[in-house]
Amino acid sequence: MVTIKSAREIETMAAAGRILADALVLLSDRVKPGVSTEELDRLAEEFIRSHPGARPSFKGLYGFPKSICTSINQEIVHGIPAPDRVLRDGDILSIDCGVLLNGLHADSATTVAVGEISDSARQLLEATERSLFAGIHAAVLGNHVGDIGHAVQQVAEGSGFSVVRDLVGHGIGASFHEEPQVPNYGEPKHGPRLAVGMTLAIEPMVNTGR
């Protein structure tokens, strides 16, 4: 069931989102060759917990042992930080993070270039960012979840890439994963209709090849 949030709940989620956005900026600035994903995880947890009432959403969620997911190169999502996972020049690193504040979650991710990356990797990052903004722009009253997925898919595939179909975005709120599912593909005017008070995590996952 899709849960509709009150204005106060959305305000709390926005506050969690601001903490999360600052955390991702901090982590992105620390990404460089030689840094371990364990170091980034420790930094993320310390930063999030420095805000009264906030804690990492991921730690303990479905038994996940860390505060962030760190996925390198061909790994799509859910990579587990570890001391021996050391970044190298030319890697691309996805950092996925969540913040729980006063009983409500925020969820966001970013992908960061480690040192100098290839032209093809740079094009992948740029196309994925464009697909995210296309999905956000499609998330308006009167549209449906399918409009979001369609917008993401059109940009990704129009740029010569493919979207991941086995993993999707989702609703978010008091539970980290709520209805509806938000795929990165779809047909306009299909799926649940978007309504005031819905809160969604739009999560383009884009691959080279098919």
Q: Which pLDDT belongs to residue 40?
A: 98
Q: Residues 108, 17: contact at Cβ < 8 Å?
A: yes
Q: Residues 161, 124: contact at Cβ < 8 Å?
A: yes
Q: What's the distance, CA 7 to chain centroid?
A: 23
**Collapsing DSSP states into helix, strand and coil, what is residue 100?**
strand
CATH number of 1-117: 3.90.230.10
Q: Give me Rg for the CA atoms of the chain.
A: 17
Do 1-117 and 118-210 show the same overall fold?
A: yes
Q: Residues 30, 87: contact at Cβ < 8 Å?
A: no
Give the pLDDT confidence of 139-179 residue by residue, as tens digits: 999 999 999 999 999 999 999 999 999 999 999 999 999 99
Region at 123 (left for phi over 0; alpha for psi -120 to 50; beta for the rest): alpha
d(CA 182, CA 14): 20
Instruction: Give residue limits of the domains in the chain.
Output: 1-117, 118-210
Pick the CATH number of 118-210 from 1.10.132.20, 3.90.230.10, 3.90.1170.50, 2.40.50.140: 3.90.230.10
d(CA 51, CA 44): 12
Determine what percent of the chain is predicted with pLDDT higher than 70. Answer: 100
Q: Which pLDDT belongs to residue 65?
A: 98
Backbone phi, psi, residue 95, to 5°: -115, 115
H helix runs in the chain, sequence order = 7-30, 37-49, 119-138, 145-158
pTM of the model: 0.96
d(CA 181, CA 167): 9
Give the pLDDT confidence of 47-92 residue by residue, as tens digits: 999 999 999 999 999 999 999 999 999 999 999 999 999 999 999 9
